[in-house]
Structure 1
Amino acid sequence: MEQAPCISQIASLLAEPKRTAMLWALMDGSAKSSQELATLTGLSPASANAHLARLTGGGLLRVEARRGKRLFRVAAADVSTAIDALASTTMASAARSSPQASPLTLAAPAPLRHARLCHGHLGGELAAQLYQRMIAAGWIERHELRTQVTVKGAQHLAGLGIFTQALALPLVCDCFDWSQQQPHLGGALGAGLLQLFLQSNWIRAVNESRALLVSDTGLAEITRLAVPDAL
């Protein structure tokens, strides 16, 4: 056991609800002052500063000086990845432990709900809506627990420069979206679509956040994909 990674220090930092609330508020890539974070979490300024000192000392947050103010931001992309994974695990474990209960909802910052990175593909509202359009348009279809690309879908995707026969396996799979309570597209095709969107400058990353910024052109182009007029 001496070789086991020492994760208890980070786990203890995340075990305090007020500290996780602070991290959650910064998941959209924003930088906030201690006063803002104190207000968001219902803490006194002194308590907020104490928690922020621990998060900063633990390497989860970093401090920026801007116009005489000290602002706090997620320290690196791996922190956002870990928090996002914990959100997914929270949803999944709640469903396993209480399968008959109403699905748990997590209130996330709006940019994170709209579009975000998820295991190398697009997640969030934009991705969930695209998934539903692709099913309705006959680009993909589901058989019990299996999702696959149709011949029609492969033809349309080739027109976008995505050749499904050249992609790795698994080609496509459902990825449950914790913010939307429905699936979006995972697998190599999900990753290929994300790369298309990034290379087309339709979306771009936001600092160390999992959130993705969608341009007006990008929103129009992605929304146009797999609509009935495009069949």
Structure 2
Amino acid sequence: MEAAPCISHIASLLCEPKRTAMLWALMDGSAKSSEELATLAGLSPASAIAHLSRLTGGGLLRVDTRRGKRLFRVAAADVSAAIDALASTTMASAARSTPDVLPPALLAPASLRHARLCHGHLGGELAAGIYLRMLEAGWIDRHEQRTDVTLAGMRHLAQLGIFTQALAAPLACDCFDWSQQQPHLGGALGAGLLQLFLQSGWISAVNASHALLVTDIGRLEINRLAAL
């Protein structure tokens, strides 16, 4: 057992609901004061500072100073990735334990709900919209637990510079979106679309967050994808 990774310290930091509430409020890449985070988490200023000190000491948050004011933000991208993974697992485990009951959507900052990184592909409202349009346009097809790219989809994607024959397996799969309560596109095709959007300058990363900034042109072009 000595060779097991020592994750209990980080787990102990995340097991307190008030601390996770403050981390969750910073998942959009923003920086907030202890007073703002205290209000969001329903804490007294003194209690908020104590919790923030533990999160900062544990390497989950870092402190920026602006005009003499201390602002807290997520320390690095791996912290955002871990919290996002926990959100996905929370929704997935709820769905497994009560398969006939749709779990309530997790509330999150608007930018995360709109567009974010999700396991190397695009997640959020923007991604869920692409998935639905690709289904309706006949670019992809669902067979129970399997998602396939159709011949029509391959042709249209090739026009965008995405050649599905060159992509690794799995080519396409459903990824349940914790903020939209519906699937978006995962797999190599989901990753390929994300790279296309990044290289085209339609979206960009926000600090150490998983939130993605979508330009006006990017929103227009992405919403045209697979539009009937």
Distance 2:167 2:17 in 1: 42
Q: Percent identity?
A: 81
Distance 1:6 1:225 in 2: 45
* Per-residue CA distance 1:108-146 (angstroms, 9 max, x = gap): 110000000001000000000000000000111111211
Match of 1:127 in 2: 127
Match of 1:53 in 2: 53
* Per-residue CA distance 1:128-187 (angstroms, 9 max, x = gap): 000000000011111121111111111110000001111111111111111100000001
Match of 1:195 in 2: 195
Match of 1:113 in 2: 113
Distance 1:11 1:101 in 2: 28
Distance 2:97 2:144 in 1: 23
Number of corresponding residues: 228
Distance 1:64 1:5 in 2: 30
Q: Give, in angstroms, the shift of residue 199 of structure 1.
A: 0.2
RMSD: 0.7
Larger CA deviation: 117-126 vs 88-97: 88-97
Distance 1:205 1:145 in 2: 31
Is 2:143 the partner of 1:143? yes
Task: Give the TM-score, by structure 2 length.
Answer: 0.99
Task: Give the TM-score, by structure 1 length.
Answer: 0.97
SS at match of 1:80: helix
Alignment of 1:23-172 (within 5 A): 23-172=23-172
* Per-residue CA distance 1:176-223 (angstroms, 9 max, x = gap): 111100000001000000000000000000000010000000000000
Deviant stretches of 4+, over 4 Å: none
SS at match of 2:142: strand
Distance 1:70 1:114 in 2: 28
Q: Give, in angstroms, the shift of residue 97 of structure 1.
A: 1.6
Q: Which amino acid aligns with 2:175?
A: C
Distance 2:129 2:77 in 1: 26
